[in-house]
């Protein structure tokens, strides 16, 4: 199978590339090598350096391709509102240009890297009102250390739960909105062309090759950088934020599987470890693995962060036969042993 892998020179992309090659596929990587992501150009075979918004470059890259895996994106929450147009241009417009050329090239299988951020806050249950969607968190509450979102009807505390793929989508920052726009564009492409889309909603990805010293790095990378400097990880809020941390190799295996699977015309799949942990759990596990200082719970917050977001990955396990190979302890051990690789 001939695969075009966009964003294949990035953190997740390099692992997906290795998985695809190991599976015997012919892979071409398409990557802009953004300077805010890449400190130095990677050494890769079959690498096309171009921007997703360059329609001619995209069209040329698609010749003879059987399936496209689209990982290329500007990632993270963003530094401030000044990033909003770059998210729309890089992610939404970039995806639209790619889909237009897919239609012209008569390619009918598209794997799209989405994110758990499309859900916004996760699932919550109120003892009185059942399943509810909390409103945006308020600065006065956060300043007072009241981090848990209350029921919008009675104000009582909510019980967080697991999000399924059919949950109402509620993106709460520019990155999330751009990723959801990509899902909608891909679904429209599938309806109009008869193609198939697998939208993989990645959870918090960590592992060897994580980006360093960038505002777009995930929390695991930030904690690791602190520990490598001999400093304690700085944990925001009270550290009890619920997340699903999934090893990058498990992400790679899910992507490779989706690229070959027979699935519905548009299929969204959560991709996580299936185990709920807190941000403090991750910081503690990393501190232990590095034999470093214990995490510090700071009470600080970022308004764009959600409190809890964990999802069930049962659909991809049932429909595609995927299952993760790493738990948090094994995954962190692999991360630490890979230092310098």
- b/e per residue 33-42 (b: at least 16 CB within 10 A): ebeebeeeeb
Instruction: Give the separation between CA 87 and CA 73, rounded to whole angstroms.
Output: 8
154 domain-assigned: no
Instruction: Please give the pLDDT value at position 122.
Output: 87
Cβ contacts of 82 within 8 Å, gap of 6 or more: none
Instruction: Please give the pLDDT value at position 82.
Output: 79
137 domain-assigned: no
Instruction: Please give the pLDDT value at position 213.
Output: 58
Question: Could you tell me if 82 and 169 are in contact, meaning their C-beta atoms sit under 8 angstroms apart?
Answer: no
In order along its 341 residues, the chain shows pLDDT tens digits of 999 999 999 999 999 999 999 999 999 999 999 887 777 778 898 999 999 999 999 999 999 999 999 999 998 765 567 789 999 999 999 999 999 999 999 999 999 999 999 998 889 999 999 999 887 788 999 999 999 999 999 999 899 999 999 998 988 889 999 999 999 999 999 999 999 999 999 999 999 988 875 555 578 989 999 999 999 999 999 999 999 999 999 999 999 999 999 999 999 999 999 999 999 999 999 999 999 999 999 999 988 788 999 999 999 999 999 999 999 999 999 999 886 55
For residue 172, give the CATH number of its domain. Answer: 3.40.50.720
135 domain-assigned: no
Instruction: Give the separation between CA 178 and CA 18, rounded to whole angstroms.
Output: 27
Total structural domains within the chain: 1
Alpha-carbon distances, residue 143 vs 60, 136, 159, 198 (angstroms): 52, 14, 22, 40
Question: Could you tell me if 308 and 118 are in contact, meaning their C-beta atoms sit under 8 angstroms apart?
Answer: no
Closest CA to 1 of 261, 251, 321: 261
136 domain-assigned: no
* Residues of the domain holding 54: 2-123+161-340
150 domain-assigned: no
142 domain-assigned: no
């Amino acid at each position: 199978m001939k695969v075009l892998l966009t964003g294949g020179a990035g953190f997740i992309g390099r692992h997906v590339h290795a998985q695809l090659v190991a599976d015997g596929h012919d892979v071409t990587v398409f990557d802009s090598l953004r300077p805010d992501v890449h400190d130095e150009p990677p050494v890769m075979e079959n690498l096309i350096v171009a921007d997703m918004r360059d329609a001619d470059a995209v069209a040329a890259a698609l010749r003879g391709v059987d399936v496209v895996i689209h990982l290329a994106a500007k990632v993270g929450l963003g530094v401030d509102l000044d990033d909003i147009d770059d998210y729309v241009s890089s992610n939404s417009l970039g995806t639209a240009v790619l889909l237009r050329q897919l239609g012209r090239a008569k390619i009918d299988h598209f794997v799209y890297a989405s994110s758990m951020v499309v859900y916004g806050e996760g699932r919550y249950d109120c003892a009185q009102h059942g399943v509810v969607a909390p409103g945006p968190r308020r600065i006065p509450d956060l300043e007072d250390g009241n981090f848990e979102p209350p029921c919008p009807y009675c104000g009582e505390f909510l019980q967080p739960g697991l999000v399924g793929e059919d949950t109402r989508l509620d993106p709460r920052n520019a990155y999330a909105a751009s990723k959801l726009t990509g899902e909608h564009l891909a679904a429209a492409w599938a309806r109009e062309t008869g193609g198939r889309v697998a939208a993989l909603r990645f959870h918090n990805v960590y592992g060897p090759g994580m980006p360093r010293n960038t505002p777009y790095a995930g929390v695991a990378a930030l904690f690791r950088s602190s520990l490598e400097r001999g400093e304690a990880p700085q944990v925001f809020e009270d550290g009890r934020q619920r997340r699903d941390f999934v090893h990058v190799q498990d992400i790679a295996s899910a992507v490779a599987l989706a690229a070959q699977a027979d699935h519905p015309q548009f299929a969204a799949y959560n991709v996580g470890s299936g185990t709920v942990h807190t941000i403090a759990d991750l910081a503690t596990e990393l501190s232990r693995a590095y034999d470093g200082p214990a995490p510090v719970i700071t009470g600080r917050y970022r308004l764009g962060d959600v409190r809890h977001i964990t999802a069930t990955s049962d659909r991809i396990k049932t429909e595609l036969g995927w299952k993760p190979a790493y738990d948090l302890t094994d995954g962190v051990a692999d991360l630490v042993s890979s230092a310098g690789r």
